[in-house]
Structure 1
């Protein structure tokens, strides 16, 4: 399995070859490794969620991000400070992107792990508390298996992107947050695991939160390596990929070349002072059949 910035891979059911019509609606797929640039990484799941014809029922992409990213949400766009927040992110060397799932702003770099879990079933009930609770429970279990990690489910005071089903260590620092998008074509449940939190990530989380008018307790920012120093993002990505593979019966393979090539044409530079909006771009530029 590849992690980091290698070419993303996926698979089709038990068949290691090219998808066929018989696989439609049945394949359970695992992708591992970055899809490319920060924008490409966020566009790929949005394209796959909207694709009109898919040869998979569930797809999980686990990767170490390619570059530093500030992932805003549609809610953040309503803040009068969004322009200042976008400029601050870009001046710090972070790609400013409005992601497809909800929640609030999160910042990360290659010290993090991102997990995108797509399900082709369309059911608004999947957006309920039980989905967040179930994922948080499983994610905390994986974290506890990595060493002396007192992983707990629950919000800590003053955390970024606050949520009832955040995961913290020892009730002090947030290390995992999740957000979801449910559409007529399925659902996307996205998770960011902070492993090694760099000073640039701490600084941009603080500055962007301030620009957006959000309260943030800086001591709530942390990573797993603060508690298990030997842990790397690649280690954590490998552990989560293995857990999803075993728990959901996934098999490995490749992202369809057409989808990856299409996603890589998304160009944030043409959007001026606004963050690149993933859903706007995918609506205007639908994916090829997957």
Structure 2
């Protein structure tokens, strides 16, 4: 890991495990005196994942939703950022943007707006009519969701801020498979969330032939240039520690990381 005073690092690739992928940014977020100012991790998930939020846990239907996710072949995980449930597989791209200089004073709508504007510019280069804003009946609704043509949601983001920095996490739906569509519909019903099924879509529905690899590469290039980032691997100590994560059903990322803090020596 670089020890430069203000490094901005860009990592790519997945562990292949849904739990490890979601534990990794939570561990990075909780790294005291992190040797980076910003770290962005862009990857194409290898495992079908249902990422619940703390808000979802308050629904009386969470046990049913968890069982439905598991029965459909999705790993149910309670992620660190907020928002509501999202499901994805290898047809998506996930971006975790960590900032060790951010505190609660810099959280909120300004961060969401700035990220959405940057993401929209990348997506428009693929020829899609990407727009910022919530569409009627979308899953995990948000003011700064990104839609295509004002009709269907394709990108959602959520944030977590702690004393050691911020985590801004984004899921870009590129090619929505039948299994992803079905699990979003079934879990929305179980959790009691309204959903307009036609609001579920991927970029490839509007730009045929577009792949997750294409979109991941475009975001990597954008972050590299826009934020002057240096290509790097994820810290080996974090990767090793995240690989130890096991737990209940669904797996609670924050509970595990609080109970198993990372020793920072060697980062």
TM-score norm. by structure 1 comes to: 0.90
TM-score norm. by structure 2 comes to: 0.97
- Superposed, 1:193-212 pairs within 5 Å as 193-212=172-191
Which of 258, 262, 266 aligns to 1:287? It is 262
Question: Does residue 185 of the first structure (1) align with residue 148 of the second (2)?
Answer: no
Corresponding residue of 1:163: 142
Question: Does residue 140 of the first structure (1) align with residue 120 of the second (2)?
Answer: yes
Q: C-alpha distance in 2, partners of 1:251/1:237?
A: 16
**Runs of 4 or more consecutive aligned structure 1 residues displaced over 3 Å after TM superposition:** none
Q: C-alpha distance in 2, partners of 1:19/1:247?
A: 20
Tell me the C-alpha RMSD between the 2 structures.
1.0
Which of 96, 102, 106 aligns to 1:122? It is 102
Superposition deviation, residue 222 in structure 1: 0.1
SS in 1 for 2:262: coil
Q: C-alpha distance in 1, partners of 2:21/2:62?
A: 22
Q: C-alpha distance in 2, partners of 1:167/1:71?
A: 18
The number of aligned residues is 265
Q: C-alpha distance in 2, partners of 1:205/1:60?
A: 27
Deviations 1:73-104 (A, max 9, x none): 00000000000000000010000000000000
Question: Does residue 231 of the first structure (1) align with residue 210 of the second (2)?
Answer: yes
Corresponding residue of 1:176: 155
Q: C-alpha distance in 2, partners of 1:171/1:282?
A: 38
- Superposed, 1:1-290 pairs within 5 Å as 18-20=1-3, 23-24=4-5, 26-147=6-127, 149-268=128-247, 271=248, 274-289=249-264, 290=267
Contact 2:81–2:159 (8 Å) recurs in 1: yes
Unaligned residue ranges in structure 1 (runs of 5+) = 1-17
Contact 2:103–2:164 (8 Å) recurs in 1: no
Contact 1:195–1:233 (8 Å) recurs in 2: yes
